[in-house]
Amino acid sequence: MSRRKRVLFAISDTGGGHRSGAQALHAALLQHPQGQSIDYDTIDLITATGLPLLRNAPELYDHLSTRWLPLFNFFFQLTNGRRRVDTIAQIAYLTAQRNIKRTLDEFKPDLVVSVHPIANRFIGHARVTYQMPFRFMTVVTDLVSLHAAWGDPDADLCIAPTQEGAQVLLQQGMPVDKVLFAGFPVHPKFTACTLTVDMARQVLMLDRQRFTVLLTAGGVGSGRLRELVIAMHDAYPETQLLVVTGRNATLRTELQRLNLPEHVRIYGFVDNMEQLMAASDVVVTKAGPGTLMEALVMRRPVVITEAVGLQERGNITFVLERGLGAHSRQIHEIVLSVGELMDPVNHAATVGRLQDAVPRDGAHRIAEIIIDQLHREPPTLVPQRRMAPLTELPRWMRRREHGDDGRRRMRLFSLSLLDNLRQQSGVSFQWRHRVRRKQRKPNSN
């Protein structure tokens, strides 16, 4: 009896989109005729490295994407270059390679599917260093503004979610024969949802006649959602609002205490987003690729409220250039944009442009590619990027003393690396909070 094929999804919970992408592909594979004969597993490979900062990446990302967003954008620009990514990955891999190898060995995959850019170099380096017999492909879960870490030539294949994304990958140095446009991995339940607007509203026990707007701000909810709901209801009191607060229980409670009319529905975290979108006429969301692509797959016009990080900026351009919705940052502008889409002629024209805007079956297309990759033999591994052994590192980096002196050397090395990357990238960054503290410091004279 032959061994069952094994697929390992490499993710990190830095935002919900990477895990959601892996879950969508898993669901699509289970619907494939050959999918039931395959074993699957998902690992947070970034946390598994055990490296400082990376092992706390989910918590760190929550802070960077909210309170420290300028710093997040600074690091995005600082590291966004092929040579810079390779340098950082090589240094990190030297320390983390044993943890990475042990993690991969535990599952013994026939195929590793990475849906996170930081994981790519680690997988590629480990496969070459230890001659591990598996195939390796990446599934890009950003739309247009792709960080250079996505394009890893060591991968056997890289799946782009958009034509623009495919072009960026080629510009980043990916070989033409390794880049394939297949669409975004939206969960198959969105494709399978055939409910009409009337049917969906009946299932959800909603008013079937009112114009309906879905407002969502992602899994953790948004600080501006409360203001937006109030402004929307004040401007369009007869409009039916479906408000998804995600895991933000406090926000949900605050909205419920407003005693809004029955046609303003407040939801927490939901697992029937496809039904809510089917019941809606317009979707208001941030520029995150997951919810945005779900709405486009459901052929719903969108109003984008904000981009969290530079990697989401291109998503706004993607929507606007195709006439699939609007982008408005201020509350009053969002309200006006929704009002424009309430116009029957404008709404119908936008829906018409949505019909062929994005593939609806991206997850199924990628699942087919995964099955094909499982039937191929692992490649002959020839090291393409020479990893510097520890003996070739500067002597002060190789010393293993512990205590303050060792920590000081690591701090000096980190600052030196950051300064070199800053000079390569040409990016400047001002530590605003530090500047303010200096300005507030009383004069000693």
Residue 385 within a domain: no
End position of a domain, from candidates 343, 374, 405: 374
* DSSP code string of 139-187: E--SSSS--GGG--TTSSEEEESSHHHHHHHHHTT--GGGEEE------
| Extended beta strands in 12-148, E state | 38-44, 111-114, 135-139
C-alpha 396/C-alpha 415 separation (Å) is: 15
What is the CATH number for 158?
3.40.50.2000
3-state secondary structure (DSSP) of residue 136: strand
Q: How many C-beta atoms lie closer than 10 Å to residue 163's C-beta?
A: 9
Average pLDDT over residues 385-402: 44
Residue 379 within a domain: no
Residue 78 within a domain: yes
User: Does position 104 have pLDDT exceeding 50, yes or no?
Assistant: yes
Confidence of residue 65 (pLDDT cuts 50, 70, 90): confident
Domain shared by 81 and 176, yes or no: yes
Domain shared by 300 and 242, yes or no: yes
**302-304, strands of its sheet edge to edge:** 264-267, 240-244, 212-216, 282-285, 302-304, 325-327
b (16+ CB within 10 A) / e for 30-46? eeeeebeebebebbbbb
- What are the residues whose beta carbons fall under 8 Å from the beta carbon of 76, sequence distance 6 or more? 147, 309, 310, 311
Give the pLDDT confidence score for residue 405 in this predicted structure: 55
User: Does position 442 have pLDDT exceeding 80, yes or no?
Assistant: no
Q: In this predicted model, which residue has the larger pLDDT, 424 or 297?
A: 297
User: Does position 302 have pLDDT exceeding 80, yes or no?
Assistant: yes
Question: Which structural domain, as residue segments, surrounds residue 343?
Answer: 193-354
Domain shared by 283 and 212, yes or no: yes
pLDDT in tens, 202-214: 999 999 999 999 9
C-alpha 63/C-alpha 441 separation (Å) is: 27
b (16+ CB within 10 A) / e for 357-376? ebbbbbbbbbbbbbbebbee
Element (H, E) at 127: helix 117-129
C-alpha 292/C-alpha 285 separation (Å) is: 7
Domain shared by 207 and 307, yes or no: yes
In Å, how far are 220, 232, 282, 322, 394 from 229, measured between CA atoms?
16, 5, 14, 27, 58
Greatest Cα-to-Cα distance within the chain, rounded to the nearest angstrom:
85
How far from chain centre, in Å, is Cα 425? Answer: 23
Give the pLDDT confidence score for residue 420 in this predicted structure: 58
Domain shared by 318 and 173, yes or no: no
C-alpha 177/C-alpha 312 separation (Å) is: 27
Residue 19 within a domain: yes
Domain shared by 349 and 405, yes or no: no
Average pLDDT over residues 216-234: 79
- Which 8-state DSSP code applies to residue 16? S
Average pLDDT over residues 294-320: 93
Q: In this predicted model, which residue has the larger pLDDT, 393 or 321?
A: 321
Domain shared by 93 and 170, yes or no: yes
Give the pLDDT confidence score for residue 220 in this predicted structure: 45
For 214, counting Cβ atoms within 10 Å of its Cβ (0-12 exposed, 13-18 middle, 19+ buried), the class is buried
Confidence of residue 51 (pLDDT cuts 50, 70, 90): confident
- What are the residues whose beta carbons fall under 8 Å from the beta carbon of 26, sequence distance 6 or more? 9, 40, 42
**Size of the chain in residues:** 445
Give the pLDDT confidence score for residue 265 in this predicted structure: 97
Confidence of residue 68 (pLDDT cuts 50, 70, 90): confident
Q: How many C-beta atoms lie closer than 10 Å to residue 253's C-beta?
A: 12
Give the pLDDT confidence score for residue 433 in this predicted structure: 43
Domain shared by 280 and 233, yes or no: yes
Q: In this predicted model, which residue has the larger pLDDT, 418 or 341?
A: 341
β-sheet bridge partners, residue 6: 39
Domain shared by 104 and 209, yes or no: no
What φ, ψ does residue 410 adopt, rounded to 5°? Answer: -65, -40
Give the pLDDT confidence score for residue 308 in this predicted structure: 84
Confidence of residue 191 (pLDDT cuts 50, 70, 90): very high
Q: Percentage of the chain with pLDDT > 70?
A: 84
Residue 381 within a domain: no
C-alpha 52/C-alpha 224 separation (Å) is: 33
Residue 382 within a domain: no
Residue 442 within a domain: no
Domain shared by 50 and 99, yes or no: yes
Confidence of residue 22 (pLDDT cuts 50, 70, 90): very high
Domain shared by 173 and 294, yes or no: no
C-alpha 11/C-alpha 265 separation (Å) is: 33
Domain shared by 205 and 85, yes or no: no
User: Does position 410 have pLDDT exceeding 70, yes or no?
Assistant: no
Tell me the one-letter amino acid at 357: A
Element (H, E) at 220: none
Element (H, E) at 398: helix 395-398
Q: Into how many domains does the chain fold?
A: 3
Residue 273 within a domain: yes
**Which range has highest mean pLDDT (65-74, 343-352, 416-425)?**
343-352
